[in-house]
Chains A and B, each alone.
Chain A
Amino acid sequence: MLVTRLRGSRQRTWASRDVAELSRLYRSICYDLSLVQSREWGARLEQYLNDLVAQGHNALYRSAPKSMAAIWEFFTHEFPRVFRRRIGAFSLALALFLIPFLVSTYVGWQRPDVAELIAGKESLEAARQNFGQDLYTKMDASYAGQRSTMAGFYVYNNTTIAFQAYALGAFIGLGTCFVLLSNGISIGMVAGYILSAGSPATDNFFSFVISHGAFELTAIVIAGGGGFVLAQGILFPGKRTRMDSLRFNGIESLKLALGAGAMLAIAAMLEGYFSPLPIAAGIKYAVGSCLWLLVIAYLSFAGQGGTADEG
């Protein structure tokens, strides 16, 4: 049967004659199936034709395969476009992350004792100790080893947090709220606590955080925004039926989550290998600021013009 032959080979390698033949055969089998069904000529024949139709259907109506070009197109155009289209969900996520972050930074700064109570004395103490000294003074094998482990850990840990923030949006956004709030608070506490410790910890900390933060913090918030897009699909279907709205918002939100995942991979590499480099804090601040500008410019301007397929 032609279907079985075609199913094995790649789509690109199909001869045009075969495709024409396939569609002709497929239509005739569809006809047979409806005939057999309407005249009730027996379950087994129906079953057999049913299977043939299913195979042909799958061979004809499969979606176009994704290619490397599509992946490139996604990052240069699609992702920033979806981001801008769903700027509302992003803003909500940003507010839910930034406000608790700022509040807890202030609390941690002014009242380190309260921060110790909330976030746990040991972990905060450890963080301060960590940043109180120079992390690394020279680059050797031990540096390479430790930083590689940490890069792997950042990929594992941060991206998991971001994807969870996204997926838990399926509970009408409540899970996303929780993840954003708790992360905002804990990161803010650490930042505030270290502010209160004063130099050199403060300087070390902020010069460490600034470069990868551009990608990491933005990505976490974008993933949270993706979670809210999911929630929007459930709560506010608008003109679509609720099922259609779930599907539409599902795909849109997934694009946000995947883009965020890629940003987190970049962030993990920066955090692993660049941020802790034993170089002057000034250089790190300069590079970090550039990266922030880069991220903002990318999200605001990339993918404008060209082939617009808003939908």
Chain B
Amino acid sequence: MSPPRKQKVDTRVVVETPEGADFQFVIAGAGTRAVAWGIDQLIQWAALVVLFMLSLFLIPFGEAGVGVGFGGFLIGRFLLDWFYFSLFEAYWDGQTPGKRSQGLRVVRSNGTPIDVSSAIGRNFLRAADMLPFFYTVGMISMLMTRRLQRLGDLFFDTMVIDERREWISRAGGLTANIEALARSECPRRFSVPERTLAVIERLFESDRIISDARREEIARPLSDALRSRFGYAEPPPDPRNPHPHFRSRGFRQTLFLLRVLKTFADNPAGTKNGTNDRVNKRSRAAAESPPPRGRMNPAAVATSDLADLLNGDLSENRRARRES
């Protein structure tokens, strides 16, 4: 048995695969789920209206036609009531139209896709969750469970996850007022290895207690290496308005690193496809054999120096934690 883990106060749930890797899901909140439900409700009403219109087409067939039409309408209403959600979730990989529009998905609480019986079961129990009005029972149950599960989720071992990819700026608010590097400023290469970005990120992590001056010092070797990699030359002070230049003079290096971060990390489009594969390969290669230092480019050397520095820092922290 694993020791009880400290519970985090957020909506992430970690699932461990049989291969021993952990991965995270973000649990959907009540608000988003309510919106998705509202959309599904509208769709159901629209479907009922369509069904009713179709049954009107049977009027010309006399009394029998009207009867069959109305009977069919009632059966359709029954099917919508009890199977709309479950059939969509079962055969659309855990999504209804409303859930899809909100980026939600139902999965089993071990992270695997929902199966047909769980989908039917969790939606049957809507009848209990929606009592006495507007899913009061379901909300109470969600408040009391870590995975925000309503009764149907609890009995059928499911959870609703939020798959929307919100691009959180990696450096938090740090790069908010920073200008990105322009391609024209960098005549040589215009790319940064993922590991370097990670190092810059660590340097600016908010819980890292370093004074700004010390950070500037640490940043120096890396930023010099990056400058030469890009072939970037600092523009001379604008003669008409030299103040910003001199004001930021003491933080040249950190500012430059922030610009790098802004340029290469805050751009989801550039990382979505091609680059990731490269990154992936590189990290695997790095993991398997420690790279010979001499042949690496200067930026990477600076990176690994800095990484050692920071990681040494980190492992000390860890040791301290373990001892306490």
B-contacting residues of A (Cβ < 8 Å)? 26-28, 30-37, 39-45, 48-50, 53-54, 57-58, 61-63, 66, 141-142, 144-153, 155-156, 159-160, 163-164, 166-171, 175, 230, 233, 243, 246-247, 249-251, 254-255, 257-258, 272
- B194-219 contact mask (Cβ, 8 Å, vs A): 1 or 0: 11011001100000000000000000
A155: chain B residues within 8 A (beta carbon): 74-75, 78
Q: Complex: how many Å from CA A257 to CA B283?
A: 52
Q: Which of A42, A43, A58, A156 contacts B113 (CB 8 A)?
A: A58
Contact B68 A53 (CB under 8 A): no
In the complex, what's the smallest C-beta–C-beta distance from B209 to chain A, in angstroms?
A: 18
Q: Is the CB of B64 within 8 A of A141?
A: yes
> Which 6 A-B residue pairings sit nearest by Cβ, starting from the closest?
A145-B67, A42-B198, A152-B71, A250-B155, A152-B74, A167-B127
Docked pose: A261 CA to B287 CA in angstroms? 57
Q: In the complex the two chains form, is B170's CB within 8 Å of A44's CB?
A: yes
B55 to chain A, nearest CB (A): 10
Closest residue of A by beta carbon distance from B112: A61
Contact A62 B112 (CB under 8 A): yes
Closest to B65 in A: A145
B234 at interface (Cβ–Cβ under 8 A)? no
Contacts of A33 in B (CB 8 A): 21-23
Q: A66-B115, A152-B71, A167-B128 are in contact. List 15 more A-B contacts (CB 8 A).
A: A39-B311, A40-B314, A145-B68, A146-B63, A148-B67, A149-B67, A149-B68, A152-B72, A153-B74, A160-B82, A163-B82, A167-B125, A171-B128, A246-B154, A247-B157
- The segment from B116-124, B240-248, B292-300 found at the interface with A is B116-124
The answer to whether A36 touches B283, judged by C-beta atoms less than 8 angstroms apart, is yes
CB neighbours (8 Å) of B291 from chain A are none
Q: Cα distance A214–B69 when bound, in Å?
A: 28
A250 to B82, CA, bound (A): 17
* Given A36-B283, A62-B112, A254-B23 contact (CB < 8 Å): no
Most B C-beta atoms less than 10 A away, residue of A48, A150, A153: A48
Can you identify 16 A-B contacts, CB atoms within 8 angstroms? Answer: A30-B21, A32-B287, A42-B198, A45-B198, A45-B279, A48-B279, A54-B111, A148-B67, A148-B71, A149-B66, A149-B71, A156-B78, A160-B81, A233-B155, A249-B155, A254-B121
Are B17 and A152 touching (Cβ within 8 A)?
no
Q: Which residues of A contact B71 (CB under 8 A)?
A: 148-153, 272
Q: Is the CB of B63 within 8 A of A63?
A: no
Residues on B with C-beta less than 8 A from A254 are 117, 120-121, 124, 156
Closest to A251 in B: B117
Chain A binding surface SS class: helix
Partner of B75, one of A44, A61, A147, A152: A152
A50–B22 alpha-carbon span in the complex (Å): 8
CA distance A230 to B155 in the complex (A): 8
**A50: B residues at CB distance < 8 A:** 23-24
A151 to B151, CA, bound (A): 32
CA distance A142 to B68 in the complex (A): 11
0/1 string, B53-64, CB within 8 A of A gives 1: 000000000111
B124–A166 CB distance below 8 A = yes
User: Measured between C-beta atoms, what is the minimum distance from A50 to chain B in Å?
Assistant: 5
Set of chain B residues within 8 Å of A170, measured between Cβ atoms: 125, 128, 151, 155
> Is B31 located at the chain interface by the 8 A CB criterion?
no
Chain B neighbourhood of A233, CB < 8 A: 155
Say yes or no: A152 contacts B70, CB within 8 Å: yes
Contacting residues of chain B (122-160) with chain A, CB-CB under 8 angstroms: 124-128, 131, 137, 151, 154-157
A42 pairs with B201, CB closer than 8 A: yes
Q: CA–CA, A251 to B62, complex, Å?
A: 45
A172 CA / B309 CA spacing, docked (Å): 59
Contact of B271 with A by CB under 8 A: yes
| A163 CA to B81 CA, complexed, in Å | 11
CB distance from A82 to the nearest CB of B (A): 12
Q: Is the CB of B197 within 8 A of A42?
A: yes
Interface presence of B191 (CB below 8 A): no
CA distance A148 to B63 in the complex (A): 11
* C-alpha spacing A310/B24, complex, angstroms: 35
The answer to whether B125 and A44 touch across the interface, beta carbons within 8 angstroms, is: no
The reply to whether the CB of B280 lies closer than 8 angstroms to some CB of chain A is yes
Docked CA distance A171–B201 (Å): 50
Contact of B19 (CB < 8 Å), options: A30, A145, A159, A164: A30
Say how far A74's CB is from chain B's closest CB, in angstroms.
10
Give the complex CA separation of A61 and B131 in angstroms.
Answer: 35
In the bound complex, residues from chain A placing their C-beta under 8 Å from that of B19 are: 26-27, 30-31
For A66, the chain B residues whose CB sits under 8 A away are 115-116
Q: Mark B73-86, 1 if CB is under 8 A from A, else 0.
A: 11101100110000
CA distance A41 to B63 in the complex (A): 73
Given A32-B283, A152-B71, A159-B82, do A250 and B157 touch, yes or no (CB 8 Å)?
yes
CB-defined interface of B163-186 with A at 8 Å, one 1/0 digit per residue?
000000010000000000000000
List of B residues within 8 angstroms of A31 by Cβ: 19, 21
In the bound complex, residues from chain A placing their C-beta under 8 Å from that of B283 are: 32, 35-36, 41, 45
- Distance between A146 CB and nearest chain B CB, rounded to angstroms: 5
What are the residues of chain B within 8 A of A147 when measuring CB–CB? 67
B8 interface residue per 8 A CB criterion: no
- The chain B residue sitting closest to A150, CB to CB, is B71
Q: Contact between A41 and B21 (Cβ–Cβ < 8 Å)? A: no
- The interface residues of chain B lying within 8 Å CB-to-CB of A36 are 283
For B155, list chain A residues within 8 Å (CB). Answer: 170, 230, 233, 246-247, 249-250
- In the bound assembly, the distance between CA atoms of A58 and B108 in angstroms comes to 11
The A-contacting residues of B in range 253-292, CB under 8 angstroms, are 265, 271, 276, 279-280, 283-284, 287
